[in-house]
Structure 1
Amino acid sequence: MPDISGEWAVELHGVTRRYGRGGTAVHALRGIDLTLPRRSFTAVMGPSGSGKSTFLQCAAGLDRPTRGTVRLGGTEITGMKENKLTALRRTRLGFVFQAFNLLPSLTVEQNVVLPTRLAGHRPDRRRAAEVLAQVGLADKARRRPGQLSGGQQQRVAIARALVTRPDVVFADEPTGALDTTTAAEILALLRDAVDTHGATVVMVTHDPTAAAWADRVLFLADGEIADHLDRAPATTIASRMTALTTRPTYAPAAA
């Protein structure tokens, strides 16, 4: 994964996340050290309870690590006040979730510009039209989410994630609710966002076929990075996941 800009999009240094105290404490992350370059597509996989959801939440500033530091686009967010962190998430991060999370009462265009409006800026309709065209929905701006298919709704979510030209797009199981053909279309859009438009994508997925679209696949187990693969086919990724899941030392940590 070449580092085009010479800067890191995501940096985690010694990141741990513990829930609870004493003998009942759950160690979801155990000292994650990781740097991801700009314009890269990273998939994160792991057995149930491996820490991948906690990893995404800490990396995206949705949860605070117990120890360690997180930097996004060169900005340290670990000790940032909540209001500043919220502003950063709205302007410099994009999010795509399995459930789409669109507001049904708003039009497609209004959903896309929502992060801009929440950040207190005037919505840029030209930019909204640009990203809607990028995801193949140029003619759907006035529709409402309920008038669209699941795949189209996820395209709207991707347009919304890209509208602010974020430092990083975090995607949590973005194809989990879609059929195989539609999932491939969504993954192609994320791939194109990286290759053509210079985005950085970090995607949690359980699907080796989805992970095969990424430049690198990180495997978590017991709250640690246990392995990685670069530009690997789905069969190789699936085999590595099987080996990780069945290894005798594996003991669940936290989802």
Structure 2
Amino acid sequence: MRARSSKQQTADGGREATAGTPGLAVELRGVRRQYGRGTRTVHALAGVDLTLPRGTFTAVMGPSGSGKSTFLQCAAGLDRPSSGAVFLGGTDITAMGEDELTELRRDRLGFVFQAFNLLPSLNVEQNVLLPMRLAGQRQDRRRAAAVLAQVGLADKGRRRPAELSGGQQQRVAIARALVTSPDVIFADEPTGALDTGTATEVLGMLRHAVDTQGATVVMVTHDPAAAAWADSVLFLSDGAFAGRLEHGSAAQIAARMSALTAPSSRVGELAGAAA
């Protein structure tokens, strides 16, 4: 029998899992994602390195086509990078098989999308408890009541999604994301379908989850006002990070975004300013 190399293989042909850095909720090491071949190859992510500590709120912004969606999908285990490694809560998810990834997403991650993705045939409480139901766990109605109270919907558990406003439906989605106390909550344009006042309420809930429960939130957004709720904003351009802003105002974030969409000389100035 041929000896295995130091980089052992998993059952599905991938490499053996390695350890992530302690204390980090999200870690990407040299992550690349490309689509197509030859002259039609598109480099959606071009070697991304990133470390996000637990208990932080991070926004990711960039022009259309900059790689935001691909970044979120790779970081959350919804898509596999072409190369590099992704760690969530210290676990190398790049080496996992599909069944393991499904279990991890269900048990250790929370998701909030622009489309609320609630099941219309279930009431609010049942939608919140859906991750537990899919995991074959006991559906803890007290836990559902607790998270619904956190998002201001303590009296809506028996309602159907169609009976709620858009803002209330997004609150249900946040409660569903919180119910399993996940390692990371990934939010993809969570306020894109909401009016300004309702968006502020939803962002305040995500901020509250970070500040009071130690949650980790990674949010992709195009809105500088939404990004201003985060501890830090990461700017993507052509599949690579082009800058970072800590505790920026909406005006400061908008100025950075304007620089990203300006001619290449301005992009260079942005990268220098963020260094």
Q: Answer yes or no: same fold by TM over 0.5.
A: yes
Q: Tell me which residue corresponds to 2:101.
A: 85
Aligned mates of 2:245, 2:197 — CA distance in 1: 25
Matching of residues 97-246 of structure 1 within 5 Å: 97-246=113-262
For residues 170-225 of structure 1, give each alpha carbon's deviation from its aligned partner in whole angstroms, at most 9, with x where no partner exists: 00000000000000000000000000111000000000000000000000000000
Identity of aligned residues (%): 75
Aligned mates of 1:124, 1:247 — CA distance in 2: 54
Code of the aligned partner of 2:162: G
Code of the aligned partner of 1:80: M
- The two structures have a TM-score, normalised by structure 1, of 0.95
Aligned mates of 2:140, 2:213 — CA distance in 1: 18
* CA RMSD after TM alignment: 1.1
Q: Tell me which residue corresponds to 1:3.
A: none
The structure whose Rg is larger is: 2
The answer on 1:33 being equivalent to 2:52 is: no
Dislocated runs of 4+, deviation >3 Å = none
Aligned residues: 246
Code of the aligned partner of 1:209: A
Higher relative contact order (CA 8 A, sep 6+): 1
Cα drift, residue 246 of structure 1: 1.2
The answer on 1:66 being equivalent to 2:71 is: no
3-state SS in 2 of match to 1:229:
strand
Cα drift, residue 248 of structure 1: 2.7
Structure 1 portions without partners, runs of 5+:
1-5, 251-255
Code of the aligned partner of 1:187: L
Code of the aligned partner of 1:19: Y
Code of the aligned partner of 2:154: A
Aligned mates of 2:55, 2:74 — CA distance in 1: 20
Q: Tell me which residue corresponds to 1:253.
A: none
Aligned mates of 2:38, 2:145 — CA distance in 1: 53
Aligned mates of 1:117, 1:203 — CA distance in 2: 26
Aligned mates of 1:239, 1:57 — CA distance in 2: 27
The answer on 1:50 being equivalent to 2:74 is: no
- The two structures have a TM-score, normalised by structure 2, of 0.88
For residues 148-188 of structure 1, give each alpha carbon's deviation from its aligned partner in whole angstroms, at most 9, with x where no partner exists: 00000000000000000000000000000000000000000
3-state SS in 2 of match to 1:58:
helix
